[in-house]
Amino acid sequence: MMTMEQVFARPKSMSKTPFHYCPGCDHGVVHRLVGECLDELEVGDKAIGVAPVGCSVFAYDYFNFDFNQAAHGRAPAVATGIKRVRPDRIVFTYQGDGDLAAIGTAEIVHAANRGEKITVIFINNAIYGMTGGQMAPTTLVGMKTATSPYGRDAQLCGNPIKVSEMLATLEAPVYVTRVAVNTPANLMKAKKALKNAFRLQKEGKGFTFVEVVSICPTNWGKSPTDAHQWLAEKMLPVFPLGTYKDTLGVDKS
Amino acid sequence: MADKVLMKGNEVIGEAAVLAGCRYYFGYPITPQSELPAYLARRLPEVEGVFLQAESEVAAINMVYGAASAGARVMTSSSSPGVSLKQEGLSYIAGAEMPCVVVNVVRGGPGLGNISPAQSDYWQATRGGGHGDYRTLVLAPNSVQEMADMTIAAFELADRFRNPVLLLVDGILGQMMEPVQLPAPTTYDINQKPWALGNPNPRKGGRNLCSTIFLDVEQLEEHNWHLYQKYQVVTDEFAKGAYKHLAVETHAVDDAEIVLVGYGIISRILKTVVEKARKRGIKAGLVRPKTLWPFPSQVLADLAAKTKQFLVVEMSCGQMVEDVKLAVDGKKPVFFFGRTGGTVPSDFEILNEVDKLVRPD
Ligand SMILES: Cc1ncc(C[n+]2csc(CCOP(=O)(O)OP(=O)(O)O)c2C)c(N)n1
Ligand code: SF4
Ligand SMILES: [Mg+2]
């Protein structure tokens, strides 16, 4: 008789609610990685998520633990309040690039600078997804969006903001890394980074930040495959993958 | 009961918050409320609390949102321009039904205005201030003792109704030193709220959610009517006298032919005006709303049947006067006298107005 082993299942931290994300969107993939990491670290029942507006505003539907739905850009401040009251919980924010790198710039910089013991997951898809594809602070020069129909003009709108590089200049953060989920190899690295970040928080080490260079097939007007190709060709040269700060050397261990 | 101590208004709010079990304060510097954060920066670490100076008022109120959602008794304070920035957060906090206490030591506006005492944030405080269908309870003390008592009441009301409660103070009260009797400390446990995020006790549905998003129109309508009904309960309980000590003070109104109406520091000046007017043979009385929302309308409506006229005095161009007119409902004339921009009217000026109204020749 053959014994069957289950090799793939829904992470315990995740609910049965089907994703509302567009087909092929990276949001769902990253959600799953978050769920797997929390399960593996056995902190799924201790997690508290904070989801501000953006396509992932309904993130709370897909996880089984407590959630706070925050205002646009304010998740790091809300997470600060939660973590200060409940230091034994694993508190994370899940933010888009419009959210984190435009309206919420002050909140992210200062939460990082204070060394809040939270984890920030930053989905950089170079666009405002939820509101229909407007230019984001991370939009590439020349990239066409609803509000940059002639392509982003650096003279008029500046250049894409490199958040990981910026935050890595601060003293307090213990882990700042940029990953992608466009290939199986990158996906494995992304999972390792998320797990490092959550583990560091579990150990009470300090502020951790994982930027995920992502796609928005719908607003980019590309198929998911083409979008991932475009990400590799156009986005990664501007947003190079890698760890920008690793105070405790967790990437090597 | 402890002995009376001499304390400054702004500091008393801080000590009363600690006595009420508040262990979290988030704020951003602004005059004229600076003594309050300075007091708590020193005091909260003594009781294993957290004092955190935020990067802005926007961040501060969102930290409050987070801490409140995690079950804490939490406070922020600011002055007018800073309270404007807190309105986004207040709308979320009210929408998500999270309790918190927000202190506004009001200064002159609009814009940067000045740091002198004013009452020109009445509309912002009592009408919601941020976007959406919501209300905040608003308490307006007129002495250092009341600043202590109302701070404690504010935390209790906030928890009772799961709603933000505002303490509307002016710079004079904030700076004033008076003897105050502080109450005994309350013990507060962050796990006493079953709905709080991170509460380890088992609860309905397996997990807790703090949210203001209702994409479905029917759900949002249902939520808004639910909030409305809650505000009705607040209003009814105040009207029925459940919070008598907090709602309104009347003085010499029974035979009054003119009723003066004012809150906060103005009400203390009006008391002098009433005494001086009576010495001149003018039967003046005073109504002092202590709670500005819900507004003590019934007291004014009842007096409208007895008195001849009302004079509302504010340090603004006339904001609360609208609520007085709504309460009086056209039954008697309602007049207004105001000074603004940081000027505090003298009893003499107000007495002059009373004279003109009572003896129009
Ligand atoms: C104060 C405020 N301003 C604007 C909006 C509208 N809005 C909703 S989501 C969003 C941007 C979302 O973009 P991003 O953060 O990049 O997330 P994505 O949808 O791309 O994942 C904006 C501008 C809002 N909800 N609140
Ligand atoms: S709009 Fe873009 S970011 Fe949002 S779910 Fe669709 S593909 Fe994903
Ligand atoms: Mg985006």
Where do the domains of chain A lie, and which CATH numbers do they carry? 27-246 (3.40.50.970)
DSSP H helices in chain B: 9-19, 35-46, 57-69, 80-85, 87-95, 122-126, 144-161, 171-175, 217-239, 244-247, 265-279, 297-304, 320-328, 347-358
d(CA B313, CA B107): 17
Tens-binned pLDDT, residue by residue, of chain B (361 aa): 578 999 999 999 999 999 999 999 999 999 999 999 999 999 999 999 999 999 999 999 999 999 999 999 999 999 999 999 999 999 999 999 999 999 999 999 999 999 999 999 999 999 989 999 999 999 999 999 999 999 999 999 999 999 999 999 988 999 999 999 999 999 999 999 999 999 998 666 689 999 999 999 999 999 999 999 999 999 999 999 999 999 999 999 999 999 999 999 999 999 999 999 999 999 999 999 999 999 999 999 999 999 999 999 999 999 999 999 999 999 999 999 999 999 999 999 999 999 999 987 7
pLDDT at B201: 82
Burial class (CB in 10 A: 0-12, 13-18, 19+), B242: exposed
Cβ of A26 closer than 6 Å to ligand 1, yes or no, is: no
Q: Whose CA is nearest to atom 5 of ligand 1?
A: A72
Question: Closest Cα of chain A to B51: distance in Å?
Answer: 10
pLDDT at B204: 65
* Whether A106 and B50 lie within 8 Å, measured CB to CB: no
Q: For residue B17, which amino acid is it? A: A
Contact residues, chain A, for B69 at CB < 8 Å: 68, 78, 81-82
pLDDT at A1: 59
**B5-192, CATH topology level:** Rossmann fold (3.40.50)
Q: For residue A123, which amino acid is it? A: I
User: pTM value?
Assistant: 0.97
**Residue B279 CB contacts under 8 Å (≥ 6 apart), including other chains:** none
Question: Closest Cα of chain B to A120: distance in Å?
Answer: 15
Q: How confident is the model over A123-154, as pLDDT tens digits?
A: 999 999 999 999 999 999 999 999 999 999 99
Instruction: Give the Cβ contact number of residue B121 at 10 Å.
Output: 24
d(CA A180, CA B59): 30
Cβ of A129 closer than 6 Å to ligand 1, yes or no, is: yes
Same fold, B5-192 and B246-358: yes
Instruction: Give the Cβ contact number of residue B305 at 10 Å.
Output: 8
A70 touches chain B (CB under 8 A): yes
- Give the pLDDT band (50/70/90) at residue A3: confident
Q: Please report, rounded to a whole number, the percentage of residues in chain A having pLDDT higher than 90.
A: 96
* Whether A74 and B62 lie within 8 Å, measured CB to CB: yes
**Residue A55 CB contacts under 8 Å (≥ 6 apart), including other chains:** A21, A25, A27, A96, A129, A130
Q: How confident is the model over B179-199, as pLDDT tens digits?
A: 999 999 999 999 999 999 999
Contact B312, B256 (CB under 8 A): no
Q: How confident is the model over A7-64, as pLDDT tens digits?
A: 889 999 999 999 999 999 999 999 999 999 999 999 999 999 999 999 999 999 999 9
Q: How confident is the model over B279-307, as pLDDT tens digits?
A: 999 999 999 999 999 999 999 999 999 99
* Whether B197 and A66 lie within 8 Å, measured CB to CB: yes
pLDDT at A5: 84
Mean pLDDT (chain A) is 97
pLDDT at A143: 98
pLDDT at B240: 93
Instruction: Give the Cβ contact number of residue B123 at 10 Å.
Output: 14
Burial class (CB in 10 A: 0-12, 13-18, 19+), B219: exposed
Question: Closest Cα of chain A to B86: distance in Å?
Answer: 12
CATH architecture of B246-358: 3-Layer(aba) Sandwich (3.40)
Backbone dihedral angles phi then psi of residue B153, each to the nearest 5 degrees: -60, -35
Contact A29, A19 (CB under 8 A): no
Cα of A215 vs its chain's centroid, Å: 12
d(CA B201, CA B233): 29
Could you state, in order of their start, the residue ranges of all structural domains in chain B?
5-192, 246-358
pLDDT at B2: 72
- Number of alpha carbons in the 13 Å side-chain half-sphere of residue A37: 27
